[in-house]
Amino acid sequence: MPSIVGKRQGNQTYYYLVESARVDGKPRIVSQQYLGSAAEVMAKLSGASSGEPVRSQHKAFGDLAAVWGMLERLDVIGVIDEAVPRRPHAGATVGTYLALATVNRIVAPCSKLGFVDWWNTTAGPRWMKIAPSALDHRRFWDAMDRLGINELQAVEAELGRRMVTEFGLDLSALVLDMTNFATFIDSANDRAPIAQRGKAKQKRTDLRLVGVALVVTRDGGVPLLSHAYPGNRPDVTQFTSVIDEFLTRYRDLTEHVEDLTLIYDAGQNSTTNHGQVETTGIGFVGSLPPSDHPGLLALPRKAFSVVDEARYPGVTCIDTTVTALGVTRRAVLTHSPTLHAAQTRGFAQTLAKARKQLAELQARLARGNTRKDRVGVEADIAAILRPRWVDQVITVTLTGDGPATFRMRWRTDTAARTRLETRLFGKRILFTNRDGWTTAEVVAAYRSQAEVESGFRQLKDPHVVSFSPMHHWTDQKIRVHVFYCVLALTIAHLMRRQAEQAGLHLSVRELLAELAGIEETVLLYHDGGKGRPRAQRMLTETTATQRELADLFGIERYAPTR
Question: How many Cα neighbours within 13 Å face the side chain of 225?
Answer: 22
- Averaged pLDDT for residues 339-356: 97
Residue 28 — pLDDT band, cuts 50, 70, 90? confident
Count of other CB atoms within 10 angstroms of residue 236 = 15
For residues 250-283, one letter each, b for 16 or more C-beta atoms within 10 angstroms of the residue's C-beta and e for the rest, the string is: beebeeeeeebbbbbbeebbeeebbeebeebebb
What are 439-476's pLDDT values in tens digits?
999 999 999 999 999 999 999 999 999 998 888 889 99
Percent of the chain with pLDDT over 70: 96
What is d(CA 441, CA 432) in angstroms, rounded to the nearest whole number? Answer: 11
Q: How are beta strands 519-525 and 534-539 bridged, if at all?
A: antiparallel
How crowded is residue 359: how many other Cβ atoms within 10 Å of its Cβ?
A: 12
Closest CA relative to residue 464, chosen from 498, 501, 491? 491
Q: Has residue 405 got a pLDDT over 90? A: yes
> How large is the average pLDDT for residues 126-151?
94
CA distance 491 to 167: 11
3-state class (DSSP) for residue 116: helix
Terminal CA-CA length for the chain: 20
pLDDT of amino acid 180: 94
Q: Residue 374, Cβ neighbours under 10 Å: how many?
A: 13
Query: Mapping DSSP to helix (H, G, I), strand (E, B) and coil, where does residue 385 land?
Result: helix
Of residues 45 and 221, the one with the higher pLDDT is 221
Pairwise pLDDT comparison (53 vs 357), residue with the higher score: 357
SS3 62: helix
Cα-based distances in Å from 477 to 141, 145, 209, 373: 8, 7, 15, 52
Q: What is the pLDDT of residue 45?
A: 64
pTM, full prediction: 0.87
**pLDDT at 527 (0 to 100):** 62
pLDDT score recorded for residue 20: 79
CB 486 within 8 A of CB 536: no
**The domain defined by 150-336+426-460 carries CATH number 2.40.30.210:** no
Average pLDDT over residues 314-334: 97
pLDDT 10s digits, 79-101: 999 999 888 888 999 999 999 99
pLDDT class of 43 with cuts at 50, 70, 90: low
3-class DSSP assignment, residue 59: strand
The 10s digit of each residue's pLDDT in 222-274 is: 999 999 999 999 999 999 999 999 999 999 888 778 889 999 999 999 999 99
Dihedral angle, C-alpha 293, 297, 298, 304, nearest 10 °: 140
Which backbone phi and psi does 393 adopt, to 5 degrees? -115, -35
Amino acid identity of residue 85, one-letter, is P
Burial (CB count <10 Å: 0-12, 13-18, 19+), residue 85: exposed
**Residues composing the chain:** 562
Query: Are 520 and 538 a contacting pair, CB within 8 Å?
Result: yes
Residue 514's contacts (CB-CB under 8 Å, 6 or more residues apart) are 62, 506, 543, 545, 546, 549
Q: How far apart are CA 451 and CA 507, in angstroms?
A: 12
- Residue 150: CB atoms within 10 Å: 9
Alpha carbon distance 456, 79 (integer Å)? 25
Mean pLDDT, the chain, as a whole number?
Answer: 92
Query: Which pLDDT belongs to residue 50?
Result: 52
8 A C-beta contact, residue 13 and residue 7: yes
Q: What is the pLDDT of residue 48?
A: 46
Give dist(CA 265, CA 485) in Å, integer. Answer: 24
60: phi then psi, degrees, rounded to nearest 5 = -65, 135
Structure confidence at residue 528 as a pLDDT band (50, 70, 90): low
Q: What is the predicted pLDDT for the residue at 49?
A: 47
Confirm if 171 and 283 have CB atoms less than 8 A apart.
no
Predicted pLDDT at 524: 86
* Reported confidence tier of residue 17, pLDDT bands at 50, 70, 90: confident
Instruction: Supply the pLDDT for residue 529.
Output: 54
Domain ranges of the chain: 1-50, 51-143+510-562, 150-336+426-460, 339-424
**In this predicted structure, what is the pLDDT of residue 77?**
97
- For residue 255, the 8-state DSSP code is S
Q: What is the pLDDT of residues 156-200, one digit of tens each?
A: 999 999 999 999 999 999 999 999 999 988 888 889 999 999 988
The pLDDT, as a whole number, for residue 283 is: 96
Say which DSSP state 128 is in. S
* Residue 11 pLDDT greater than 60, yes or no: yes
How far, in Å, are 78, 214, 415, 452 from residue 158 at the CA level?
A: 11, 17, 59, 21
Q: How far apart are CA 267 and CA 114, in angstroms?
A: 39
Q: What does the pLDDT average to over 69-75?
A: 98
List beta partners, residue 538: 521
pLDDT at 495: 98
Which among 233, 124, 218 has a CA at the least distance from the CA of 174? Answer: 218
Handedness of CA 213, 216, 222, 224 (dihedral sign): negative
- DSSP H helical ranges for 298-435: 337-366, 374-385, 390-393, 414-424
Q: What percent of the chain has pLDDT over 90?
A: 78
Query: Of 88 and 412, which is predicted with more confidence?
Result: 412
Query: What's the confidence (pLDDT) of residue 106?
Result: 98
Beta strands 12-23; 26-37: pairing state:
antiparallel
Contact call for residues 510 and 502 (beta carbons, < 8 A): no
Tell me the mean pLDDT in the region 109-117: 95
